[in-house]
Structure 1
Amino acid sequence: MVEKLPSLKLQLQGPLSNLRDGYIPHLPSSQQATHINRIFLDGPEVREEVFVKEQGVPQRYVSDADDARCCHWVAYATREAEEDGRAIIPIGTVRLLPFPHLPHPLPGAKYPEIDCEGNFLPSPPEVPVSVADRATTLHDGVEPYIKLGRLAVRQEFRGKGVARALVVAALEWARQHPSFFNSLVTKALSKDPSPQNGENNQAENFAWRGLVYVHAQSKVIPAWTSYGFTIDEGMGTWHEVNIPHVGMVFRLELEG
């Protein structure tokens, strides 16, 4: 039986513009350069415990280049120091990936490779912001959305509300900081060469209005439902390394 956690602390790490300076995505966190932010490395450490050691996902898929533009939350627990001398250990993590994204997965498709979300999808060239995605039940294919992903909690600390605390913290931060995401939309638009939207290709037409997505394994639908997410039936079901996935959506009421 797992003992009750003495305390739980959440830490936020914003995007790191200099992350690519010395960071090697396919290496374990213990082998990364020492100058890289510790909070940023603690997230992949948890992913390695869950995805690699527990689920058998290859190490090269645990982290990716998109980590640099994500916001990351890491949950820490305090307990008696272990052999490595640490009394404060990372036990859970989640990341929030801003707009723009790869196109929605295709219903019935089977994907062998992991994409920037930690999902097994192809990795096409960057899609221009103004190019519409396919419409689904809960997404018109145009409205910008943010996406939660890489949610992981060490096995011995599950069932204690750690995952919920991470999701709630990420959603609440996003709700309070819509300008953060809109500034990224404006930046992406400035690099978008597509003329198809003409005068409508303006930042105000692509403002983030609180739409949040997650690609959920079918077996964890109840958990995401308890967090307030709803299945987007129009996205259908697709498989990532033989694991069925669905799209789920949540609409935040933004401040201001």
Structure 2
Amino acid sequence: MSALPEQIKVGFLGFGKMARSIAEGLQKENRWLTGACDVMPFASEQTKAFASAGELEQWADLILLCVKPQDMATAVASLQGSRPCLSIAAGLSLDTIRSFFKGPAPLLARSMPNLGATVGLSTTAIYCEDEALRALSVELFGAVGYAFAVGKEDLMHGVTGLSGSGPAYVFLLIQAMAEAGVREGIPFDDALKMAVQTVLASATLLAGSSDHPAEWIRRVSSPAGTTIEGMAALEENGMRHAIYEAVHRATERSRELGKKK
């Protein structure tokens, strides 16, 4: 990848909710300037609007492909391939995206952010064959949370199954905990706040520690106490296996969808 200026112009091809969240994160740092082209008109004081993908491409140093997977072929066909591109589309391999360009394809990277990007707490995996573009992509997504690179493109399916779909698993856990509180007589609003705060505190403790999760469970579980009894019930009812299967089946579904593109 050729050398880039100190301040990088990031062009968003597609400017939906996820793209806007990424742009807002970038705008907090002087490192980035943002521009966008979208089929729907948008108003933004800090993101420059472009009438066509061609104009966006001429302006930008890096293009973020933020359209839906089913719209990617049409969107990419409007580009000349003169700028490196970073895709956030789930399930589309680099080879598939390359095939959409009418001429020679540019350097490409793909990413899998998650819902956390909307609050600056995304977990984003990057796959890229070019070292410089890979490093730039990790730096870019670092503006909206935690970003890292994977060494094999196939691992992006596992990322989709774990962190891409993961927020829904956690929401279900919180919902179930709140409903369990209602079962024990606690009003739902109070039970929901308790569940949310418990998950938030537990995640914060774990994130700030190098200890294995099992060590934190040990600390909370007194001999013959309430917590170990609850943990036994979770194991008896297959919670661990259910999580394994949720991630596995979401991963396999990602692979299936990728083959259909």
TM-score, structure 2 length as denominator?
Answer: 0.27
Larger strand percent: 1
TM-score, structure 1 length as denominator?
Answer: 0.28
**Higher relative contact order by CA 8 Å / sep ≥ 6: 1 or 2?**
1
Larger helix percent: 2
